[in-house]
Amino acid sequence: MKYEVWVGLEIHVELLTESKLFCGCSTAYGAEPNTRCCPVCLGLPGTLPVLNRKAIEYGIRTGIALDCQIAKRSKLDRKNYFYPDLPKAYQISQYDQPLCEKGFLSLEDGKRIGIRRIHIEEDAGKLLHQEDGTTWIDYNRAGVPLIEIVTEPDIRSSEEAAEFLENLKQILQYIEVSDCRMEQGSLRCDINVNVQSADASERSEIVEIKNLNSFKAVAKAIEYEAKRHINLLKEGKNTLKETRRWDESKNQTIGMRSKEGAEDYRYFPEPDLSAIEIDEEWIAEIRETLPELPRQRKERFIKDYGLSSYDAALLTASKETADFFEEVAERFHDKKMISNWMITELYGRLNRSGEEIKDLKFSAQDFANLLQLIDNKAISNHAAKEIFREMYETGKAPSQIVSEKDWKQISDEREIQLLVGKVIEENPQSVIDYKNGKDRALGFLVGQAMKASRGKANPKIVSKLMKEMIEQSELK
């Protein structure tokens, strides 16, 4: 019997709003515990939530980017449960009228993964378990706005899941609603998984997997679960309706709690907030501010700039790099050269230093100027790399570096003739070797000339003149 794995994802994404969902506290990550709190997000009695419209806007932005239907009227609901990290003993979330519904995201091969719904909700605080057995609570995160994106169970493999998540993350970063830093918890993903036989006669119970802290873990957990489910079905058994967690160190899932008789969250409409009315005008306004999405941009890069699909994908991987490319492209004609320099030199430096485009000390104009210098043969490729290193580290303009270091390329033939003449004079044996067919000798001679110019001579011209002058010396 052949089995197919069915996967649906629930993704929680922290929004990049400056303040929390219901109060003015900062959402900045990494502050001292309990320093980003106020009576409202601590749920002190008598305090009231006031909705942050920006968070709703970000939710709608996401909905538009994922081709969802945006609700005309949405509302917030209370999800009631007791937990120490939940200050009000209820989470303000959305139940039956989510912000967005019925969208999709296309994979590279055109397959659509359905988006069932996107709703908005507040995050809870964080429990900090200490070694001595006590537990501390940090409420900095309490009230940070989240969207929960729920997919249809359309995913059929770990590869599809990984591709979906990569694409989703890229879109969310492109539309600037989240930084999607899994390691900081600003993107969290739970899986719902089961397997079905090809003829649908056998199917395992749906199992939920939590505690997945990377896309790799998501893929591994799906593979692990698929195997586990298939093995159980083959033995004539079935999975339990339960929640399991991924154990990274053991590379396996471990049962946490049963989902039979699941907790009743006693949802009801949030009485402290009125319904959210979303008119067409607002949606249109938000649509207008949406940037070009990654897939469209990549296609345009291929078409407009004549780049390979591979290079275009690399350059449009983030909005910042794509923006940077286009800024340089406005100022410099050779797009292929920009692409090469960005992918090899710039990405190389960024990777090594762990920095991002936004951290760059130089501008796109400087970068274009550098390429222009190379193109004008004002500097050698070798010198250009040195100049780039200096630009990257200090932010100095390339022209300034060139004049400071005296790295301007020598392309003047008369100047180079003098250099070459001297080298020929000083190395008669190599000249003879070259004449006798030892091509390597030419390399040595050119090298000597370059050395004499302290690298500044244009190697193409040196090489050309070297050949010409050796031939001339023969004629003598």
**Interacting residue with another protein among 1, 28, 89, 198 (CB under 8 A):** 89
Q: Residues with Cβ < 8 Å from 77, sequence gap 6 or more?
A: 92, 93, 94, 95, 96, 267, 268, 269, 270
CB 181, min distance to another protein, A: 28
Q: Give the C-alpha separation, 98 to 190, whole Å.
A: 19
- Closest C-alpha to 12, from 234, 198, 180: 180
Residues counted in the chain: 476
Q: Does 267 bind another protein (CB under 8 A)?
A: yes
User: Is residue 84 within the footprint of another protein (CB under 8 A)?
Assistant: yes
Q: In the complex with another protein, which residue's Cβ is closer, 45 or 110?
A: 45
Q: How far are the Cα atoms of 132, 202, 249 from residue 239, in angstroms, in the given order?
A: 37, 12, 23
Check binding of 354 to another protein (CB under 8 A).
no
Residue from the set 1, 50, 290, 418 that interacts with another protein by CB under 8 A: 50
Q: How far, in Å, CA of 45 to CA of 59, rounded?
A: 29
Q: Which residues contact 340 (CB under 8 A, 6 or more apart)?
A: none
- List the one residue out of 448, 99, 145, 430 whose CA is nearest residue 276: 99
Contact region with another protein (CB under 8 A), list: 11-19, 79-87, 147-155, 436-444: 79-87
By the rule CB under 8 A, 114 interacts with another protein: no
CB 10 within 8 A of CB 205: no
Binding mask 136-155 for another protein (x = CB under 8 A): -x------------------
Size of the site for another protein (CB under 8 A): 30
Cα torsion for 470, 473, 475, 476, to the nearest 10°? 180
Cβ atoms of 239 and 207 within 8 Å: the answer is yes
Residue closer to another protein, measured from CB, 30 or 261: 261
Q: Smallest gap, in angstroms, from Cβ of residue 183 to another protein?
A: 28
**Binding mask of the shown chain, residues 1 to 40, with x at each position contacting another protein by CB under 8 A:** --------------------------------------x-
46 binds another protein (CB under 8 A): yes
User: Would you count residue 274 as binding another protein (CB under 8 A)?
Assistant: yes
CB-nearer residue toward another protein: 87 or 398: 87
> Which residues contact another protein by CB under 8 A?
39, 42-51, 78, 80, 82, 84, 87-90, 135, 137, 264, 266-269, 271-274
